[in-house]
Structure 1
Amino acid sequence: MIRLFLSIDMVGSTQFKARFTGQGSQGWLETFRNFFCNFPLMLAGQVGFEFIDSDSTPAIDVWKAMGDEVIFVAEPASAEEAVSILRALLRTMTLYERKYFERLPLRLKGTAWLVEFGEQNIELDIAELSAGDGARHIDYIGPDIDLGFRLSKFARASSLVVSLDLMEQLLGAPNRDLLSLHLLGEEELKGVMFGRPYPVVWAADAETGFDFLPWEIKSCPLVAAAAAAPPTEIMRLQAAIADMRLYLRKMHGIDRMPLTMGARP
């Protein structure tokens, strides 16, 4: 089983809360309550809109909320569905900022990655944390779960950083032109790929692009690179995937095969 994980985090939240030092949580509580309550509702609406002409709509469930971040999990039946989900997510980020952050020094950033469950990654049903109404409490554990949290370090405001496995699926989707993909370099991720630098790829809505603010472009090299360059050519993205696969096989004897997304039951 393959699941898509989506993390949305606030940018600038620590400094924002520090404004209200000495006032308790009253100055910032409503802003965060709105985010955890309203962002999932808005995302569900945009996913419904994205799949309005489809026979079925994939469920996007909240896995957990921690700190200033909410993490969703979905089970897209195909690469085409994954593209549509990411497009709905990007649109939700933009709409949410316009509605709730217009006069606040806050922004949203995202991370998206795929996880195949089996031997390497597992699903845990934690009975002690289950709700009294019988609802299960599910947790997910494994190296590919950790990858997403490591990769989120390289997300920025108005960006959605994606894993290599997910990028490979997006490149093979018939609706791949709905997204633009930008390879911005390579960075080492703790505990990932045996220390070899991992490609940093951002996805944007192909129609609207990024929505960076002027000072964000000036202060961050990754943002400046994304703002200045066109989408990365497909052949270059495919080469990055092939390079990492060759490295794992040659240097560590690991065959990292492409994930296979299947239809939902």
Structure 2
Amino acid sequence: MRKRIITKNTKELYCLFSVDIQNSTKNKYENLFWDNTVYNFYEKIPLHFQALLKEKGSSNILSIWKYVGDEILFYSKIDNISQIPITIQAFKETLEFFSKNSKEFTIKGTAWTAQLNLIDKSFYMNKTNDNDNNTLDFIGPSVDCGFRLSKFASTDFMSISIEILDLCKDDIELQKTFYFLNSEFLKGVNNNERKYPIFLIKLNVNNQQKEDLYLRSPCNYNSLCLFLNEYYDEPTIIKYHWCISRITNSFFSANDINTFKNNTRSFSNITTKDDIQSIKNWFYENFEDPSINCFYDTKHGGYYFSDLNSYGTGHDCSVEIHKHFNNQYNDKTLNKAIEEILLESCCYEWAKK
């Protein structure tokens, strides 16, 4: 039975997921009916994941990419980057549910992205028999990176790619769960010229050893934003623009792939000091340090932001600038302005003037 490859030419963004049974080989030696465990794993995980997506109001369709032994690979097409935090939260809760409730197996998971026809590719393996369905497959540097990251996943921590971290960093609930492990060289990733930062999402389970908590510290949001801005602006990263691309809303608006690639090549040359200063001027005209005019309540341990009707959760510089200037300047310009504001002010929660 011969197969032929049919390449997909459309520009699309996908979330990719891996779920693996922990210590599966050991369990096969101890459990005579280990095959039932694997079959239940194949059946229950996708159903629960899809049910959570629906419960959260997501229209994303979860599809099976492939089964690899005791591992399930999923994919979900993303039409708007705002869908990604919802999808990641559903995946996180799926891992937590089975870690807490399943007596048959323990699992670990990884989430990453595929940017099709920009830095990654997809294709269908078309079988000659009329009854056989086409099978969608993915290849590319981002796809490979995800498989490298899966070794850092555990029953307590879900491993994620830099792209997933970047796209979920503004989600308040997920923010609290980001942990940094370390940076290390992953085979082939970043052409072995730059260590890859390993970030994890802490799962709400109670299996961890005490030493795990000392090895991994929660991420500070503002430090995280600065790190990501600097990471994507590094010469080593920019040099491999065809393998590394920061995902923004422009991904869905740039219809011409060649135009996108040309813009990416000249990306480092289109930021000016005047643009950065204009962004900063707008921000300083509209926002100020809360210590100037906001009431500080010792009972709540924070400032009262009247326009938000809340304590201690003021306006975020990064969020406000990206929201206001998203269609006027490229991300590099916006992020440079944000970085300068944070360094100049040392203020992380802002009040509206």
- Give TM-score, length-normalised by structure 2: 0.61
Structure-to-structure mapping, 1:194-213, within 5 angstroms: 194-195=191-192, 196-204=194-202, 209-213=203-207
Say which SS state the counterpart of residue 60 (structure 2) adopts: coil
CA contact (8 A) 2:81 2:167 kept: yes
Residue 177 (structure 2) pairs with residue 177 (structure 1): no
Structure-to-structure mapping, 1:10-25, within 5 angstroms: 10-20=21-31
Structure-to-structure mapping, 1:130-209, within 5 angstroms: 132-133=130-131, 135-172=133-170, 176-179=171-174, 180-195=177-192, 196-204=194-202, 209=203
> Aligned partners of 1:64 and 1:98: how far apart in 2?
25
> Aligned partners of 1:251 and 1:71: how far apart in 2?
28
Q: Deviation at 1:119?
A: 4.6
Q: Which runs of 5+ in 2 are unaligned?
A: 1-11, 254-353
> Aligned partners of 2:102 and 2:236: how far apart in 1?
49
Say which SS state the counterpart of residue 258 (structure 1) adopts: coil
Q: How many residues align?
A: 235
Say which SS state the counterpart of residue 79 (structure 1) adopts: coil
Between 1:88-97 and 1:162-171, the stretch displaced more is 88-97
Structure 1 counterpart of 2:73: 71
Q: Which runs of 5+ in 1 are unaligned?
A: 21-25
CA contact (8 A) 1:107 1:158 kept: no
Say which SS state the counterpart of residue 45 (structure 1) adopts: helix
Q: Which residue identity is paired with 2:156?
A: S
> Aligned partners of 1:127 and 1:222: how far apart in 2?
46
Say which SS state the counterpart of residue 127 (structure 1) adopts: strand
> Taking structure 1 as reference, are residues 243 and 260 closer, same or farther at Cα in structure 2, changes over 3 Å only?
closer
CA contact (8 A) 1:156 1:223 kept: no
Structure-to-structure mapping, 1:234-253, within 5 angstroms: 234-247=221-234, 249-250=235-236, 253=239
Q: Deviation at 1:185?
A: 1.5
Structure-to-structure mapping, 1:1-40, within 5 angstroms: 1-20=12-31, 26-40=32-46
CA RMSD of aligned residues (A): 2.4
> Taking structure 1 as reference, are residues 184 and 212 closer, same or farther at Cα in structure 2, changes over 3 Å only?
farther
Structure 1 counterpart of 2:63: 61
Say which SS state the counterpart of residue 75 (structure 1) adopts: strand
> Taking structure 1 as reference, are residues 97 and 250 closer, same or farther at Cα in structure 2, changes over 3 Å only?
closer
> Taking structure 1 as reference, are residues 131 and 64 closer, same or farther at Cα in structure 2, changes over 3 Å only?
farther
> Taking structure 1 as reference, are residues 28 and 151 closer, same or farther at Cα in structure 2, changes over 3 Å only?
same
Structure 1 counterpart of 2:209: 217
Q: Which residue identity is paired with 1:144?
A: S
Q: Which residue identity is paired with 2:107?
A: L
* Structure number with higher relative contact order (C-alpha < 8 Å, ≥ 6 residues apart): 1
Q: Which residue identity is paired with 1:11?
A: Q
